[in-house]
Amino acid sequence: MSDLPRAFGPAVMQAVLRSSAEDFQVTELPAFAPSGDGEHLLLTIEKRGQNTVQVAKWLAQWAGVGEMAVSYAGQKDRHALTVQRFSVHLPGKDSPDPASFAPEGVRVLEAARHNRKLQRGALTGNRFTLVLRQVQGERAVIQTRLEQIAARGLPNWFGEQRFGHGGGNIGQALAMFAGRRVRRDQRSILLSAARSQLFNQVLAARVAAGNWDSALEGEVWQLNGSRSVFGPEEFTSALAERLAGFDIHPSAPLWGEGELRSSGAARELEEQALADEVALRLRAGLEKAELRQERRSLRLKPDGLSWQWLGEDVLQLRFALPPGCYATALVHELGEAVDAGQAARARTPLAGNADEAVDTPAG
């Protein structure tokens, strides 16, 4: 993300992130309590050094069911210590002993029956604990930047993990749009990467202009914690109060077929930001793929943001984010952080949202 602008000025810190799994902890915030009965076994699992898809395959083998019988709310990073839910469909079957499911780096924390399959995106967010090591920068300046983020929120970037090693997913998306055949799972990843690239370009233009968290003429507003949008409409004092209170946020397009919903100055900025040759090719490919125009909030507010110095050059950050948002967006606003887990991810040609979760449907 080093090539993206920063909303609060130049970097104030250099550090190392993800030196160990414990330095990047992610816990799903569940959207519901288990019903206590039903055909599905709902499991809360802690994993270290394992990816979500692999754990799901192991669960299918353990329960003696097909892989389609196992579901999860979102994919969590392999290079982290994560806690997330899975469900296993067991119609007419007793639940296996949860204690007997114990692959390396995996343990079951809770198990209960539930009356419905766990759907993708069925969570209220993710809670993070990040430890930054070898921190260089003045403590007082770093704290001021954190206070700014706590007060104003931060740009809702898609993280670099969305784009694969070296941003290679964008080149592969262009090749796919030009006719190259790809697997179905790869197609979903590449479509998401293309949409994310276009969104980030619009957000970058608004950060550069200083209006990423304020109103433009013709703005489309997104309700906080929701995918619902409204507008454009006249910017009134009531809307200004809702914007200041983080009840609503400006938005940008997740590209697809159909007309842009924005108008006026907001639409003009979006069209100008997406007028380069690569953007036009990505737009055309997404439209041909029949994805529909949607919107994503330009701003996010970390919930309960706190920080603590664990040592002379060790900084711990704690906060929660809505589904589909990236913890590295916050780190980016502080400065440059070398990701010690990046080398391992580079060995995977196609990477999805490896930062925290593919918490929402593809896109």
pLDDT band at 343 (very low <50, low <70, confident <90, very high): low
pLDDT band at 346 (very low <50, low <70, confident <90, very high): low
pLDDT band at 219 (very low <50, low <70, confident <90, very high): very high
pLDDT band at 360 (very low <50, low <70, confident <90, very high): very low
Residues 6 or more apart in contact with residue 70 via CB below 8 angstroms: 56, 57, 59, 60, 63, 86, 87, 88, 89
pLDDT band at 363 (very low <50, low <70, confident <90, very high): very low
Query: pTM, whole model, 2 decimals?
Result: 0.89
More confident residue, 167 or 192: 192
| Strand residue runs (E) in the chain | 13-17, 24-30, 40-48, 70-72, 81-89, 106-114, 123-136, 154-155, 221-223, 229-230, 248-254, 294-297, 299-300, 303-311, 314-321, 335-339
Out of 23, 77, 213, 339, pick the active-site residue: 77
Rg of the chain, C-alpha, whole Å: 21
What's the whole-number mean pLDDT along residues 98-110? 96
Residue 77 known to be catalytic: yes
Res 265: pLDDT: 98
**pLDDT tens, position by position, 221-275:** 999 988 999 999 999 999 999 999 999 999 999 999 999 999 999 999 999 999 9
Q: Which amino acid is at 112?
A: A
